[in-house]
Amino acid sequence: MILTVTPNPSLDRTYELPELVRGTVLRATADRVDPGGKGVNVSRAVAAAGHRTVAVAPMGGPEGALLARLLGEHGIEAAGVPVTGSTRINITLVEPDSTLTKINAAGPELSAAEAEDVLEAVRTRAAAADWIACCGSLPRGLPPQWYAELVARSHRAGTRIALDTSGPALTAALREGPDVIKPNSQELAEAVGRPLATVGDALEAAEELRARGPGRCWPAWGPTGSCWWRRRARTSRPPGWRPYAAMSAPGTRPWPAS
């Protein structure tokens, strides 16, 4: 079983437009709503591959109830943690040439008690998981050390953990030794404090991060591919493809705009 943790999940509402014009009323030609958030996207990919997955996330208000229902429709077990604030709604506008305009809401602010409830929800399920995937930015109210505490509790339960986040939250979590981290090129450069111009630069930066604690560092390098770094480096270049959507989960098939 793959357990995912999404501290700031969302409902992702997408509108297809014949044209995006500022300062006027626009009529969508199609629309849809999907469960969203990086950890949720991992669960969607796992469920689509036919495997069991449980998604832990704070959920509040009617939006949180809808998120839980949509997860169930995708074959995902929702482990929603009740919170006072409402689950955020993100908006994506899609033009005919597949140009995207995305508006991300901030999401609810979690109290200290709610933050602890999410940690506890993970802890009680950790032993049954083969891997835990913790993904995305932290919502308001959670300190940068929150992911570090999550990694520590997961390891005490004997479960491997993969972390996909950035900034101070990533830096703070490194010392707890997550088993895998997956920064993109911008996040990797930010973590080491210097620009990265080549894949070689990325490999050097990945080794620098790995020396701080994580077992593996897998930096994503956009269309150039990904690097897998443990004791030696490997690179993987994807086949030729035309991008449709920038927000699809890594490694999954994006939803093409029609």
pLDDT score, position 248: 46
Contact 187, 170 (CB under 8 A): yes
How far apart CA 155 and CA 163 sit, in angstroms, is 13
Class at the top of the CATH hierarchy for domain 2-19+27-181:
alpha beta
Task: Map tokens 């930010």 to a residue.
Answer: 190
At 41 the three-state DSSP class reads: helix
Strands 2-5 and 10-16: unpaired
Residue 93 to residues 7, 14, 107, Cα–Cα distance (Å)? 24, 6, 19
Domain ranges, ordered by start, for the chain: 2-19+27-181, 182-247
pLDDT score, position 153: 96
In the numeric block, which tokens belong to residue 26?
């626009």
pLDDT tens digits for range 65-102: 999 999 999 999 999 999 999 999 999 999 999 999 99
pLDDT score, position 257: 36
DSSP class of residue 224 equals G
In the numeric block, which tokens belong to residue 24?
């006027």
pLDDT score, position 50: 97
Ranges of residues in the chain whose predicted pLDDT is under 70: 221-258
pLDDT score, position 215: 80
Task: Map tokens 């999401």 to a residue.
Answer: 107
